[in-house]
Amino acid sequence: MRRTTLSSLGLCAAVAATTLVLQGEVAAQSEGAQHITYSNQVSRIFQSNCQICHQPGNIGPMSLMTYQEVRRYATRIRNLVATREMPPYQYDTDVGIQELYNDWRMSAEDIKTVVSWVDQGAPEGNPADLPAPVEFPVIGEWRLASKYGPPDHIISSTPWDVPAEGTDLWWEPLVDTGITEELCIKAIETLPSAAAHGSTHHANSMFYKQDEEGKWVQNTRLSEFAFGKLGEEVPLDACRVAPTNSKVGWSIHYYPDGTAVPGDQVQVGIWYHDEDFDRSKAYRQDLRSYALQGGDFDIPPNGKLMTQGFQTFDHPVRLDSWQPHLHLRGVAMSIEVFYPETGRTEMISSASNFNAGWNHSHIYADGHQPLLPAGAVIIQKAWYDNTADNPRNPDPDQWVGMGQRTTDEMSHSWIAVTHLDEEGYQRLLAERESRPVVDAGGAR
């Protein structure tokens, strides 16, 4: 982990400098590069990075399955790849933890190859060199099933009619879970229906339990889904509890996209740890929303804003994942840790080109999750741009405050926290120093 502290001005300067350097590097690398064709190199890069979205019937605005389709957009593709706008994974490459699972970022070598190919005229090459087609996941099917098999347990929201047109809508039913045995969750995936895939903005789910008076009250969070998120995976030494005799409270945010969907349902799939999982040796993990600023704020027309928030624990913790959440005026977010005993601040993660259309849960690879001693302070910062310079801003002449609508703003992130004791904290520190870590993307 690189130890870097960024001020708000420093972050903006770093973003601009990084973009200019990257563009300059790829431009220079394209000169004198080996002869590259779509068939023998570029097609494989598109299979690995692009075609899962850019295929007929999926969320990409155009299909990129054939040479003819790709060639049509070659110049645009070059620019978006060189500036890391595509694939859409807003996570900085030069600060903080870089070892992540399910990392969508294209490698520097692949970026160089695509840029060089376009600069050479985007030649097709010999079609005989094309790779075999890839079988991609189908919209409406569980994506984590390829790793874990079908879910062990599925909980569905009650049906609701999604209209074809309208503004932000919420459906908040309370449903029985059907959980009869308290088990430890290994993975979770929230699955919108295929029909309402484009209109399901996000879907939060929370476990509810009855209190002494028989009222159903919030217990622990089950999951949080937003567009672009694959799911949540719990480390092998942690337990996120699925409580018995519980209900799930849904908060589903729809934004009609032109297609009416009668009786729509969102599902959450749960995979449990295996029968031999020793719960007595596992630490409790939970997923929470950590706000950056209590109360409210307003962003003036044609103005900018920075918010920050602080969180500390009276016991050691491990941060397993970080998912920033802003709306259309949000342009950047970072998470740092301040250690009071030494006065040192450490950068953990930064997304300095935030895009509200994509909400990724950045899962830190085993051996790279931040380990925080008791009393360490999590510092989160967010930046907002309500000017015409923000290309995602629908109207820079409006005041913008906090709220639930897409055109309002938010200021929080989702963090999966494993709660440790001092013995466990010291043990994890010692293990990290004594053994090789797992490469990001490898077997867990």
Query: DSSP string covering 369-392, please?
Result: S-EE-TT-EEEEEEEEE-STT-TT
Q: How many CB atoms lie within 10 A of CB 104?
A: 17
- Provide the 8-state DSSP code for 153: E
pLDDT the model gives residue 294:
66
Whether residue 443 lies inside any domain: the answer is no
Angle between helices 108-119 and 74-82 (to 10 degrees): 150
Asked if residue 439 belongs to a domain, the reply is no
In whole angstroms, give the CA distance from residue 409 to residue 400: 7
- Distant-in-sequence, close-in-space partners of 157: CB < 8 Å, separation ≥ 6: 171, 173, 175, 203, 250, 252, 265, 266, 267
Is there a single domain that holds both residue 165 and residue 122? no
User: Do residues 59 and 161 both lie within one domain?
Assistant: no
User: CA 25 to CA 108: how far, in whole Å?
Assistant: 10
- CATH number, position 201: 2.60.120.230
* Mean pLDDT score of the chain: 87
Q: How much is the pLDDT for 56?
A: 87
Claim to verify: residue 115 and residue 207 sit in the same structural domain: no
294: burial class by Cβ within 10 Å (0-12, 13-18, 19+)? exposed
Whether residue 307 contacts residue 411, with contact meaning beta carbons closer than 8 Å, is answered with: yes
Among candidate residues 224, 251, 279, the one where a domain is terminated: 279
Structural element, H or E, at residue 233: strand 232-233
* 231: nearest Cα among 199, 286, 269, 198: 269
Stretch 269-281: mean pLDDT:
91
pLDDT of residue 308: 93
Residue-number span of the structural domain to which 160 is assigned:
145-279
The tally of domains found in the chain comes to 3
Question: Are 160 and 227 part of one and the same domain?
Answer: yes
Domain co-membership, 425 together with 292:
yes
Same domain? 376 vs 306 = yes
354 domain residue, yes or no: yes
Residue 334 confidence (pLDDT): 96
Least confident of 247-256, 418-427, 433-442: 433-442
- Which whole number is the average pLDDT over 60-73? 94
Give Cα separations from 78 to 12, 31, 51, 117, 198 (angstroms).
Answer: 24, 14, 16, 9, 27
- Asked if residue 137 belongs to a domain, the reply is no
Residue 441 lies in a domain: no
Rounded CA gap, 421 and 296, in Å?
Answer: 35
Cβ neighbour number for residue 329 with a 10 Å cutoff:
26
Report if residue 3 sits inside a domain.
no
Cα 295 → chain centroid: 25
User: Does residue 304 share a domain with residue 195?
Assistant: no
Q: Of 10, 312, 261, whose CA–CA distance to 159 is shortest?
A: 261
Q: Residue 440 falls within a domain, yes or no?
A: no
Distances in Å between the alpha carbon of 9 and those of 39, 47, 84, 435? 44, 38, 21, 39
pLDDT beyond 70 at 17: no
Phi, psi of 109 (to 5 degrees): -65, -40
Residue after which a domain boundary falls, among 229, 255, 279: 279
Is the pLDDT confidence value at 417 over 70? Answer: yes
Predicted confidence (pLDDT) at residue 34 exceeds the cutoff of 80: no
Is residue 139, in this structure, part of any structural domain at all?
Answer: no
Which tokens in the block code for residue 33? 């590069």
Partnered with residue 396 across adjacent β-strands are none
Q: What span, in angstroms and rounded, lies between the C-alpha atoms of 336 and 96?
A: 9
140 contacts: CB under 8 Å, gap ≥ 6: 191, 193, 194, 197
Q: What is the pLDDT of residue 59?
A: 78
Give 345-384 pLDDT, tens digit per residue.
999 999 998 988 788 889 999 999 999 999 999 999 999 9
Dmax (CA) for the chain in angstroms is: 75
Same domain as 293, residue 163: no
CB atoms within 10 A of CB 279: 11
Question: What is the band of 25 on the pLDDT scale with cuts at 50, 70, 90?
Answer: very low
Residue 226 vs residue 170, higher pLDDT = 170
CA–CA dist 24, 17 (Å, integer) = 11
Residues paired with 347 in a beta bridge: 336
